[in-house]
Amino acid sequence: MPLDPLPADRLHTPCREADLPFETTAELPDQEDTVGQERAVEAVRFGIGIRADGYNIFAAGPQGTGKSSLVRQFIGRAAAAQPRPDDWCYVHNFDDPQRPRALRLPAGRGRAFQRAMERLVEELQAAIPAAFEADDYRARRQAIEDEFKERQERTFGEVQTKARARGVALVRTPVALALAPLKDGEVLSPDEFEKLSEDERADRKQAMEELQEDLQTRMREIPKWEKEQRERVRELDRDVTEYAVGHLIDDLRADYEDCPAVLAHLDTVRKNLVERVDQFLPESEELRQLPPQIRKQLGGNREETHEQYKVNVVIGRHENGGAPVVEEDHPSQPNLVGRIEHQQRYGALVTNFTLIRPGALHRANGGYLVLDARKLLMQPFAYEDLKRALRTREIRIEAPGASFGIFTTTSLEPEPIPLDVKVVLIGEPMVYYLLSHHDPEFRELFKVQADFDYRMHRRDDTTLALARLVGTMARRDGLRPLDRSAVARVIDHAARLADDSERLTTHMGSVADLVREADFWAGERGAEVVSRRDVQQAIDAKTYRTDRVREHIQEEFARGTLMVDTDGEKAGQINGLAVLQLGTFAFGRPSRITCRVRMGRGELVDIEREVGTGGELHTKGVLILSGFLAARFGQDGPLSVSASLVFEQSYGLIDGDSASCAELYALLSALADVPIRQGFAVTGSVNQFGEVQPIGGVNEKIEGFFDVCAARGLTGDQGVLIPASNVKNLMLRPDVVEAAAAGRFHIHAVSTVDEGIEILTGIPAGAPDDGAGWPTGSINRRVAARLAQWRRRALELSAAGSGRNGNGGRG
């Protein structure tokens, strides 16, 4: 006996306004906790609490389920209770300028140290020149120079005295010192020298040779004296510099006695200042007249030298307490691990430690870093460098791709900074599963999965929690409060979004959008409170904005362009239902499915598969039909049938097995030669035992066929067959429910193919009798009889063919 249609109260499970204990959401307290994500909440709490290596978090769930909000909420609480992490600075490495050193300072003191070093440089620029311009320095340096001159003059005087005693003069020339013969106190010219006697000339030559040797010996001492003089001047400069800068650096040391790394750096700065004090002294007039590039080569770049004493604070904490929480919206490799910038000077790109810029890992060090997984994976080298930082527990700043040997340009190699951070990746579940499957390191570095559900149980407590959340959304966005009727409609819509009357969606982004749009329509009519009509208008308006394609398809059904019958009876023809998803809007679309049968060799041809428009799941569904037929009607012999199935007027990919029930009904109708009522459409998949299985999009499918029937006129003989296991998913539109309540449209829930075929044909399917086969007049009896007839005919043809072949052989 055919099943009765579902009563109207099972087609939609509304939220009763009487069950909501408030008049408007203004009476409700804020909903601070996330609704319906107990599993994810526990995972996030665990991931934040455990401090072992590798226990970073991947928050996996559909977009809009509140992943980011929940993560922010829990991380914010945890960070507020944690101490501020240390500051980190980069300073010049005087031993190896290409490798800047990293200094750790207590939280909040990095900026102070930076300002102190800037003031030190300013004071040095004034104190050092003043010290070198002091009378004491000038006197001491003059004394050294006078001492050298006195020694030189004394030496030359001794040589000159010896020379005069032997008739030789010591003469100063523009080039050097020279010896010349002397007589009566006068230097002899070459002609006068030749007039001397031979003994006098010989005596003068011998004296000049001996004096020349003595003079050269003494001249060789002069470079040593000059070196000694320079060393004494340098020693004097060091003493003066130490006197000028020593007390300034000592004052700094007193402020950072608890920072050994800072003290070591200040000692290095003191030593370098003493050695490079000339960079703080005024340039000579001759040097100032030269072009900048030449001055830089001869005297060095004073600006760059002064920068060596500065401090680059890459991590400077503010006064407020707590660990940092950083959300990097653009997780490129430089934005994650930092970068080294360059400046153009004299036509060349140069850099130094002051141009080191921190990344998100630096800012989040000691706290939490939140990243979008998809954005991270889209950035070259970012994911690999993040894993390396987590694996080595240090932040190493380098050019993108440097670890792969792609870039070989010489640049700085800053000292790595130790890393202590909890990373939270947020993404779709598929991203999590793909990374888990293809990247073994991912499983070791992200051991905590916070799995966000797309739906929650519909109970009194969750319904009230969702109502409080709606009120919280309205208050936070400055919207009007919602009355209980509006909240009830929002909850109904949340169940519809979940495609389940016993569940509610956790896609809070959609709920928030609905609240905002309902507030807009309430404002349009000048209301102070949002009511059910405003929520319904928001739903209808959003549907209208997005259903242009659906409307066009419905028009084509009405005009007969798309051929679907909604009344009458035909054998081998049935209405199947599919769901089209266009962006965020989904709607049902009926399709005519036809089946043609003839005697054959047990072939079931899927035309969609043959032409390449059938997907794998659709092909699977058709093959299941073959198994069902063989098990039910092929026990006594092979099936001598050939059948073809096709979706009429389909011009794209057909996939999924939700039409397998409809295809089986069409096949049974064609085999039994029994017409199917065309006022019905069918959805559901079937297994090899003839059991009807649940499918998705049941609400959209029913409404899609209802719209076609309503456009042509509801006759009371129209409806949809759905799997019985899909009844719990029904949250139909009010107009569909009203038509079902009035008996103008029917929805039947079936559990087996036999139940469905009885409704569609009005003829019993028939259950097998003990040893007697199928009941007379049943659908199964008619199918079995026709298949048996074809089997006999096939045997007859086979026997006739064999006889002809045998006679031909004897002849």
Q: What is the pLDDT of residues 547-587, one digit of tens each?
A: 999 999 999 999 989 999 999 999 999 999 999 988 889 99
Q: Which residue has the higher pLDDT, 61 or 302?
A: 61
The answer to whether residue 771 scores a pLDDT higher than 70 is no
| C-alpha to C-alpha distances, 505 to 462, 463, 473, 630, nearest whole angstrom | 11, 11, 16, 42
Which parts of 39-80 are beta strand (E)? 57-60
AA letter at 172 = R
Quote the pLDDT of residue 722: 96
Region of 771 please: left (phi>0), alpha (psi -120 to 50) or beta.
left
pLDDT at 610: 77
* Structural tokens at position 535: 């929520």
Mean pLDDT of 402-424: 80
**Per-residue burial over 339-360, b = 16 or more CB atoms within 10 Å of its CB, e = otherwise:** bbeeeeeeeeeeebbbbbebbb
Task: Please say whether the beta carbons of 643 and 599 come within 8 A.
Answer: no
Residue 209: predicted pLDDT: 73
Q: Write down the pLDDT at residue 227.
A: 82
CA atoms in the 13 A half-sphere facing the CB of 289: 3
In this prediction the pTM is 0.81
DSSP 401: T
| C-alpha to C-alpha distance for 586 and 414, rounded to whole angstroms | 54
pLDDT of residue 343: 84
Number of H helices, E strands in the chain: 29, 30
Active site residue 227: no
Question: Is the pLDDT at 184 greater than 90, yes or no?
Answer: no
Q: Are 449 and 436 in contact (CB under 8 A)?
A: no
Q: Give the confidence band of 230 by pLDDT, cuts at 50, 70, 90.
A: confident
Copy the structure tokens of residue 289. 């007249």
Residue 187 has pLDDT above 60, yes or no: yes
Q: Is 701 a catalytic residue?
A: yes
- What lies within 8 Å, CB to CB, of 478 at 6+ separation is none
Using CA atoms, how far apart are residues 202 and 119, in angstroms rounded to an integer? Answer: 74
Q: How confident is the model at residue 655 (pLDDT cuts 50, 70, 90)?
A: confident
Q: Cβ(24)–Cβ(486) under 8 Å? A: no
What pLDDT was estimated at residue 176? 64
Quote the crossing angle between the two packed helices 484-497 and 508-524, to the nearest 10°: 140
Q: Using CA atoms, how far apart are residues 356 and 96, in angstroms rounded to an integer?
A: 16
Query: How confident is the model over 737-756, as pLDDT tens digits?
Result: 999 999 999 999 999 999 99
Residue 31 structure tokens: 């909903």
Same fold, 38-85+323-452 and 562-789: no
- Range from 63-67, 602-606, 701-705 carrying the lowest mean pLDDT: 602-606
The answer, yes or no, to whether residue 669 has pLDDT greater than 50, is yes
pLDDT of residue 320: 66
Tell me: pLDDT of 285 over 70.
no
Question: Residue 447: is its pLDDT beyond 70?
Answer: yes
Among residues 755, 634, 529, which one has the least CA distance to residue 4? 755
Catalytic residue among 67, 310, 422, 701: 701
Checking if the pLDDT of 408 tops 60, the result is no
pLDDT of 1 over the 60 cut: no
User: Cβ neighbours of residue 770 under 8 Å, at least 6 residues apart?
Assistant: none
Question: What share of the chain in percent tops pLDDT 90?
Answer: 56
Lowest mean pLDDT among 11-15, 518-522, 645-649, 692-696: 645-649
Token pair for residue 29? Answer: 């307290």
In 518-650, where do the E strands start and end? 569-570, 573-582, 585-599, 603-606, 641-647
Residues above pLDDT 70, as percent of the chain = 89
Measured distance CA(435)–CA(443) in Å, rounded: 8
Domain ranges of the chain: 14-26+455-546, 38-85+323-452, 151-226, 562-789
How far is 440 from 797, CA to CA, in rounded Å?
Answer: 63
Q: Beta strand pairing status for 368-372 and 422-427? A: parallel
Task: Band the pLDDT of 602: cuts 50, 70, 90.
Answer: confident
Determine contact, residues 572/595, Cβ cutoff 8 Å. Answer: yes
Task: Check pLDDT > 80 for residue 156.
Answer: no
DSSP code, position 459 = -
What is the mean pLDDT of the segment spanning 125-134? 84
The pLDDT score that the predictor gives to residue 810 is 42
The pLDDT-based confidence of 811 (bands split at 50, 70, 90) is very low
Phi and psi angles of residue 359, each rounded to the nearest 5 degrees, phi first: -110, -175
Q: What are the tens digits of pLDDT across the range 461-490?
A: 999 999 999 999 999 999 999 999 999 999
Q: Tell me which of 332, 626, 644, 658 is the catalytic residue.
A: 658
pLDDT of residue 8: 94
Average confidence score pLDDT of the chain: 87
Question: What is d(CA 639, CA 788) in angstroms, rounded to the nearest whole number?
Answer: 8
Question: What span, in angstroms and rounded, lies between the C-alpha atoms of 277 and 131?
Answer: 11
Rounded Cα distance between 221 and 214, Å, is: 11
Topology adopted by domain 562-789: Ribosomal Protein S5; domain 2 (3.30.230)
Specify whether the CB–CB gap between 249 and 243 falls below 8 A. Answer: no
What pLDDT is stored for residue 174 in this prediction? 63
Q: In the predicted model, is pLDDT for residue 520 greater than 70?
A: yes
Is the pLDDT confidence value at 298 over 50?
Answer: no
CATH number belonging to domain 38-85+323-452: 3.40.50.300
Dihedral sign from CA coordinates of 413, 416, 417, 421: positive
DSSP conformation class of 530: B
β-strand 312-315 against 325-328: which pairing, if any?
unpaired
Indicate the residue type of 552: H
Give the architecture (CATH level 2) of 14-26+455-546.
Orthogonal Bundle (1.10)
Q: What is the pLDDT of residue 116?
A: 92
Q: CA 508, CA 514: separation in Å to the nearest integer?
A: 10
Q: How far is CA 258 from CA 91, 108, 111, 315, 495, in A?
A: 18, 14, 16, 19, 62
* More confident position, 804 or 609: 609
Determine the average pLDDT of the residues in 105-134: 88
Q: Report pLDDT for 166.
A: 66
